[in-house]
C-alpha cells in the first residue's frame, strides 16, 4: 500500500501521457510463495482510481519460475493516457508496428509473444550463481512519429563484500560490464532498424568498494579475522588508531557495518558519487542525467524505517535510467521547450522495500525522433 500510494503520487504530480514501469525480482526472493501477491498488485494497478485515465495498458510478467532456463522475474508495465491518440507497438516477428488498443496482460507466454524480446544471460556469465534470474526484456514503441526501445534490465549483484573489496574495479563490476555490453550489442544488431533506446532497471552498479573503504577508513587500522578450519578471511574490522580503538567499519561477506550512515544521506550522498564508476566505460554509448538523489539500495525492509539503510552492503545507486545518445537528444531537446525534466527517486521517507524506485519524467516534442520515424503497416 505504501509503495502504490507513493507511486500514484508521482503519477498525479507529473501526469504522464505514456508511462513505463519496470520491475525486477517480481514476486521477490520467495517467488513461488509470492506470485499470488503479484496478481493482486497487477489488478490494483490496472483498476485503481489513480490510473483511471489510462485506458490502454500492456503488462508483461515473467512468472514462469518452473522454467529455470528462461525465468528472469522481470515485469514490464506500459500505460497509455486516454488523450494520447496514435500509439503503436512493434511486432518483432512480423517486423511491423501494430496499433495499441485495450488492456492486455501476458504472463506465462512471454517466450511466444512477438511484441517483445526476452533473454536471460547465458549461464557462463555468472557461474557461481547457479540459478541466476538476471536478463532483459525489450519492447519498441512509436509515439508522434518517434520510435524508441524500452529495455527492462537486471544485472548481476555483488555476491561477497570481501571479494568486492579485493580489487579495483571489482570482479563483479567486470561481470556487469560484460553483461551490459551484451545487452547493448543485442539491441543495436542488424536484425532490426536502429532506434533510440532507454535502458532502465536494477543495474546493481556498486561504488568502487576498495576506494570507498580506503576513504571511509583513512585513519583506521585493519584487523583480519580468519576461519579456524580453512584460514579463509571471514571478517575485516577497521578501528581508529586512538579514540579507544573505536570500530569504524566491519566487513563480512554480507555485512557492511559503517558507524555513521549519515555519510550516505548527507547532501544525497553526493560526496560518494566519485566512486560510482561503472558507467564510465560506456560513456560513448550511454547517457544519464545528473543524479541528485541518495543511493537507492539497500534500504531497511522494516516498514517503520523509511530512510534507514541495512548494514548488508555499502549503499549504492543500483537503480538507474540510462539512454542512448540519440535518446538524450529527445529528452534534452524537449527540455528546451519547457524545463520539465525530473530524475529522482520515489518514497524518500517511506519504506519502499530494499530498493527505492527511480523515475525519469520528461516531455517529448512531436516529431522529435526524426529521422527515426516509424512506418505503420
State the CATH number of the domain containing residue 135: 3.60.10.10
Has residue 256 been placed in a domain? no
User: How many domains would you assign to the chain?
Assistant: 1
Q: Give me the pLDDT at residue 43, please.
A: 95
Has residue 240 been placed in a domain? no
With cut-offs at 50, 70 and 90, classify the pLDDT of residue 262.
very high
For residue 137, pLDDT over 70 is answered with: yes
Q: Give me the pLDDT at residue 27, please.
A: 83
The per-residue pLDDT for range 25-59, each reduced to its tens digit, is 988 878 788 888 899 999 999 999 999 999 999 99
Provide the residue range defining the domain that includes 49.
1-206+263-361
With cut-offs at 50, 70 and 90, classify the pLDDT of residue 64.
confident
Has residue 369 been placed in a domain? no
For residue 302, pLDDT over 90 is answered with: yes
Mean pLDDT within 214-228: 96
Has residue 296 been placed in a domain? yes
Has residue 371 been placed in a domain? no
Has residue 223 been placed in a domain? no
Q: Give me the pLDDT at residue 337, please.
A: 58
Mean of all residue pLDDT scores within the chain: 92
For residue 328, pLDDT over 70 is answered with: yes
**More confidently predicted of 334 and 48:** 48
Mean pLDDT within 168-188: 96
With cut-offs at 50, 70 and 90, classify the pLDDT of residue 366.
low
Q: Give me the pLDDT at residue 374, please.
A: 57
For residue 373, pLDDT over 70 is answered with: no
3-class SS letters over the chain: CHHHHHHHHHHHHHCCCEEEEEECCCCCCCHHHHHHHHHHHHHHHHHCHHHCCEEEEEEEECCCCCCCCCCCCCEEEEEEECCCCCEEEEECCCCEEEECCCEEEECCCHHHCCCCEEEECCHHHCCCCCCCCCEEEEEEEEECCEEEEEEEEECCCCCCHHHHHHCCCCHHHHHHHHHHHHHHHHHCCCCCCCCEEEEEEECCCCCCHHHHHHHHCCCEEEEEEECCCCCCEEEEEEEECCHHHCEEEEEECCEEEECCCHHHHHHHHHHHHHHCCCCHHHCCCCECCCCCCCCCECECCCCCCCCCECCCCCCECCEEEEECHHHHHHHHHHHHHCCCCEEEECCCCCCCCCCCCEEEECCCCCCCCCCCCCCEC
Has residue 216 been placed in a domain? no
**More confidently predicted of 360 and 376:** 360
For residue 125, pLDDT over 80 is answered with: no
Has residue 254 been placed in a domain? no
Amino acid at each position: 500500500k505504501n509503495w502504490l500510494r507513493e507511486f500514484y503520487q508521482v503519477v498525479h504530480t507529473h501526469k504522464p501521457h505514456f508511462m513505463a514501469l519496470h520491475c525486477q525480482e517480481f514476486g521477490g526472493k520467495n517467488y513461488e510463495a509470492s506470485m499470488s501477491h503479484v496478481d493482486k498488485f497487477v489488478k490494483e494497478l490496472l483498476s485503481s482510481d489513480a490510473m483511471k485515465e489510462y485506458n490502454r495498458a500492456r503488462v508483461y510478467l515473467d512468472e514462469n519460475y518452473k522454467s529455470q532456463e528462461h525465468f528472469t522475474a522481470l515485469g514490464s508495465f506500459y500505460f497509455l493516457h486516454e488523450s494520447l491518440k496514435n500509439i503503436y507497438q512493434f511486432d518483432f516477428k512480423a517486423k511491423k508496428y501494430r496499433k495499441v488498443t485495450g488492456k492486455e496482460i501476458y504472463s506465462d507466454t512471454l517466450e511466444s509473444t512477438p511484441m517483445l524480446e526476452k533473454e536471460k544471460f547465458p549461464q557462463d556469465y555468472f557461474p557461481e550463481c547457479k540459478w541466476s534470474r538476471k536478463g532483459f526484456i525489450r519492447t519498441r514503441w512509436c509515439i508522434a512519429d518517434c520510435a524508441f526501445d524500452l529495455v527492462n534490465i537486471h544485472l548481476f549483484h555483488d555476491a561477497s563484500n570481501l571479494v568486492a573489496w579485493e580489487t579495483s574495479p571489482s570482479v563483479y563490476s567486470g561481470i556487469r560490464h560484460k553483461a551490459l555490453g551484451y545487452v547493448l550489442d543485442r539491441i543495436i544488431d542488424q536484425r532490426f532498424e536502429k532506434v533510440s533506446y532507454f535502458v532502465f532497471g536494477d543495474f546493481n552498479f556498486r561504488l568502487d568498494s576498495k576506494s570507498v573503504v580506503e576513504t571511509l577508513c583513512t585513519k583506521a587500522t585493519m584487523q583480519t579475522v580468519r576461519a579456524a578450519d580453512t584460514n579463509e578471511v571471514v571478517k575485516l574490522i577497521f578501528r581508529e588508531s586512538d579514540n579507544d580503538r573505536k570500530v569504524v567499519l566491519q566487513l563480512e561477506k554480507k555485512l557492511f557495518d559503517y558507524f555513521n550512515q549519515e555519510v550516505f544521506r548527507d547532501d544525497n550522498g553526493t560526496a560518494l558519487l566519485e566512486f560510482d564508476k561503472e558507467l564510465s566505460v560506456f560513456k560513448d554509448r550511454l547517457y544519464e542525467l545528473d543524479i541528485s538523489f541518495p543511493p537507492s539500495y539497500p534500504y531497511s525492509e522494516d516498514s517503520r524505517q523509511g530512510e534507514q539503510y541495512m548494514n548488508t552492503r555499502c549503499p549504492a545507486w543500483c537503480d538507474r535510467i540510462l539512454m542512448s545518445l540519440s535518446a538524450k537528444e529527445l529528452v534534452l531537446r524537449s527540455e528546451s521547450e519547457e524545463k520539465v525534466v525530473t530524475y529522482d527517486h520515489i518514497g524518500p521517507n517511506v519504506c519502499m522495500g530494499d530498493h527505492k524506485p527511480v523515475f525519469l519524467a520528461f516531455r517529448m516534442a512531436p516529431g522529435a525522433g526524426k529521422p527515426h520515424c516509424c512506418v505503420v503497416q
